Amino acid sequence: MSIKERMSGNEAVSYAIKQINPDVMPAFPITPSTEIPQMVSGYVANGEIDTEFIAVESEHSAMSAAVGASAAGARTLTATSSCGLALMWEVLHIAASNRLPIALALVNRTLSGPININCDHSDSMGARDSGWIQIYAENNQEAYDNFIQAYRIAENKEVLLPVMICQDGFITSHAVENIELLEDEKVKAFVGEYEPEDFLLNPGKPMAVGPYAVTGYGMEAKKNQEIAMENSRSVILDVAREFAALTGRKYGYFEEYHLEDAEYAMLIIGSAAGTAKDAVDELRKTGKKVGILKLRVFRPFPGKEIAQALKNVKAVAVMDRSESYRGGGGPLGVEVGSALFMERVHIEAVNYIYGLAGRDFTVENAIEVFSEMEAMVTEGREVPQYQYVGLRK
Amino acid sequence: MNSRTIEMRWHGRGGQGAKTAALLLADVAFKTGKQVQGFPEYGPERMGAPITAFNRVSDHKIRVHSHIYTPDFVVVVDDTLLESVDVTSGLKADGAIIINTSRSKEEILPLLKGYKGGVYTIDARKISIAALGKYYPNSPMLATAVAVSGVMDTEEFLDEMQASFQHKFASKPEVVEGNMMALKMALEEVTRKQQEVA
């Protein structure tokens, strides 16, 4: 029996953390993720968990302490947003290259400037090549479910990589919605005990973490890190299958919503996917064959699977909630375009930028995008291959 | 009860508890078995700045994650916002607006840009001071929102709130009685006004 509750996305992730009872959490507060360390330190103060909470002086220190704790052999996590993640930048790479299975609860918020506290994906997308696994959530339920799966993926011996569990700042982090929780003992049994093979606090097996690699070895270390990311693909699916057996809630690299017979598809990440699903339902009522590919796992990037899922559509709108400033689109636009090309899938693709700095994305916005896809294909309307949704004129 | 999704928009100022009221409404609607959403929209983070909060209440799973532009109901927690914020924007003509004010409905109407739907004024300050001895507009505004929107039965609402207050104020039970009194006073006043309209 699941527990029916209502809570915000931040509460949901904090609750998952409480159920997992990790060993160490260094954290520095930043909106909109502040509630997570706040609630976890509350659990610690109340004696509900015995996590060692370390109040550090910056996010650089938070991730550095997480690296130290994880290398020592502790199950470790932190939480942050926006500029906090940016300040962790250097250490994100240290965590991944040292193969430390740290979990990071990321509450997506735009990077400055202009200073703005609201959601976009510029923080996590900026860290897309830091070697972290990245998993995104549509709502509080998915943020909770993803966090419970995080350590099983990260700590797998074939993987040993840090994982970022992302949710949309304010839109899900501060929205109270219905949720189904698992009982504590089910979460504990699912996540299991952390038993690191190699760790610093093991007097029987001394080791070094983060030593210098001469040119004769550095490249091999990096290739091994890439192999670990490659290995995470099957682990992510295995863990999702086990999770589905436990909860009935199915996860994969992405969710397909009415994609099977769709002529026009929208590829989108995060909370806006829910809004887009409502748009699909409305358009389906009028006979339009439209569907959604909601990307859950961005790292590793499931390019082949995405291309295969889209091969029968006439056009896809690739929706980016961050700007690359490369003069031609966002990160998803590039990666999906590349995946389609590599898989020899020849369909129309338009890269839309939406929702920057918390700009609202509505059902009407999604309908307009689908209409434009259709007009492009059926009427030959000229459509810019890279454009903005909901921009003030 | 209503099978469609009810959408409500709250206007307040930072620090007044409009967000908390929206979350409380989500909370109590959840307890009556509904699918709920309660979320704030923050501008600059400072006391006194206009803030907006939103509720969706439905019998079906709520997936949409955008703001609410065509609400069924609007609640204004601070009547000084009427001059600076377009509170009736998109408000459905068959819906209603609820305003916390000590002014009369006749004084408020000219500020509502010709809104044709239901208009309810409630003096949450007067009720709060009478019931609690302090000004906390949340409880009276929440009760009024529940009564006007009909998202749940008012008796069921009072039962749930009693349990909720007892839990929340376990260490100060004297506050429970005052808050329940504030809810009941607001319900009585709004019922009287609903009867006047009918």
Determine how many CB atoms are found less than 10 A away from the CB of residue B61. 11
Average model confidence (pLDDT) across chain A: 97
State pLDDT tens for residues A286-324: 999 999 999 999 999 999 999 999 999 999 999 999 999
Average confidence (pLDDT) over A243-248: 98
In chain B, residues with a C-beta closer than 8 Å to the C-beta of A390 are none
How many structural domains comprise chain A?
2
Residue A361 touches partner B, C-beta closer than 8 Å: yes
Q: CB of B77 within 8 A of CB of B11?
A: yes
Looking at the partner chain, which of A6, A176, A278 has a beta carbon nearest the beta carbon of B64?
A278
In a domain, A22, yes or no: yes
Q: Are residues A70 and A23 in the same domain?
A: yes
In chain A, residues with a C-beta closer than 8 Å to the C-beta of B56 are none
**Which of A212, A247, A282 corresponds to the end of one domain?**
A247
Instruction: Give the CATH number, domain containing residue A351.
Output: 3.40.50.920
Looking at the partner chain, which of B23, B38, B63 has a beta carbon nearest the beta carbon of A278?
B63
In a domain, A348, yes or no: yes
pLDDT at B95 exceeding the cut of 90: yes
* Per-residue pLDDT, B15: 82
Q: Are residues A137 and A13 in the same domain?
A: yes
pLDDT at B1 exceeding the cut of 60: no
**CA nearest neighbour of A280 among A269, A291, A271:** A291
Q: Are residues A87 and A140 in the same domain?
A: yes
- Topology given in CATH for the domain delimited by B6-197: Pyruvate-ferredoxin Oxidoreductase; domain 3 (3.40.920)
Q: CB of A75 within 8 A of CB of A104?
A: no
* Per-residue pLDDT, A195: 96
Q: CB of A44 within 8 A of CB of A14?
A: no
Q: Which of A26-35, A118-127, B91-100, B169-178 has the lowest mean pLDDT?
A: B169-178
Average confidence (pLDDT) over B8-14: 94
Question: How far does the CA of residue B185 sit from the closest CA of chain A (Å)?
Answer: 28
ipTM of the complex: 0.94
Record: contact A170-B39, CB cut-off 8 A: yes
> CA-CA distance, B86 to B113, in Å (whole number)?
9
* Per-residue pLDDT, B173: 84
In a domain, A20, yes or no: yes
Residue that is written with structure tokens 């097996």 in the block: A205
Q: Are residues A301 and A168 in the same domain?
A: no
State pLDDT tens for residues A186-222: 999 999 999 999 999 999 999 999 999 999 999 999 9
Residue that is written with structure tokens 């959604």 in the block: A292
Q: Are residues A72 and A20 in the same domain?
A: yes
Q: Are residues A279 and A213 in the same domain?
A: no
Instruction: Give the CATH number, domain containing residue A222.
Output: 3.40.50.970
Cα nearest neighbour of A274 on chain B: B63
Q: Are residues A75 and A184 in the same domain?
A: yes
Average confidence (pLDDT) over A327-334: 96
In a domain, A232, yes or no: yes
pLDDT at B3 exceeding the cut of 50: yes
* Per-residue pLDDT, A246: 98
Q: Which of A148-157, A250-259, B13-22, B47-56 has the lowest mean pLDDT?
A: B13-22
> CA-CA distance, B85 to B121, in Å (whole number)?
17
In chain A, residues with a C-beta closer than 8 Å to the C-beta of B25 are none
Q: Are residues A258 and A241 in the same domain?
A: no
**Which of A191, A216, A247 corresponds to the end of one domain?**
A247
pLDDT at A74 exceeding the cut of 60: yes
* Per-residue pLDDT, A105: 98
Q: CB of A156 within 8 A of CB of B26?
A: no
Average confidence (pLDDT) over A229-241: 98
Average confidence (pLDDT) over A348-366: 98
Q: Are residues A51 and A110 in the same domain?
A: yes
Residue that is written with structure tokens 């470790």 in the block: A76
Q: Are residues A275 and A240 in the same domain?
A: no
State pLDDT tens for residues A247-283: 999 999 999 999 999 999 999 999 999 999 999 999 9
Q: What letter does residue A2 receive in the DSSP assignment?
A: P
Average confidence (pLDDT) over B119-134: 95
Q: Are residues A316 and A361 in the same domain?
A: yes
Average confidence (pLDDT) over A63-87: 98
Average model confidence (pLDDT) across chain B: 92
* Per-residue pLDDT, B45: 66
Residues 6+ apart with CB under 8 A from A10: A32, A33, A35, A36, A39, A107, A173, A174
Q: Are residues A265 and A215 in the same domain?
A: no
Q: Which of A160-164, A237-241, A366-370, B159-163 has the lowest mean pLDDT?
A: B159-163
- Count H helices and E strands in chain A, helices first: 13, 15
> CA-CA distance, B8 to B159, in Å (whole number)?
22
pLDDT at B168 exceeding the cut of 90: no
Q: Which two tokens stand for residue A256?
A: 């397909």
Residue of A6, A35, A275 best to disrupt the B interface, most CBs of B under 10 A? A6
**Which of A214, A230, A247 corresponds to the end of one domain?**
A247
Domain holding A78, by residue range, is 3-247
Average confidence (pLDDT) over B106-119: 95
> CA-CA distance, A97 to A129, in Å (whole number)?
12
In a domain, A393, yes or no: no
Is residue A1 very low, low, confident or very high in pLDDT (cuts 50, 70, 90)? low
Residue A391 touches partner B, C-beta closer than 8 Å: no
* Per-residue pLDDT, A277: 98
Looking at the DSSP bridge assignments, the partners of residue A53 are A25
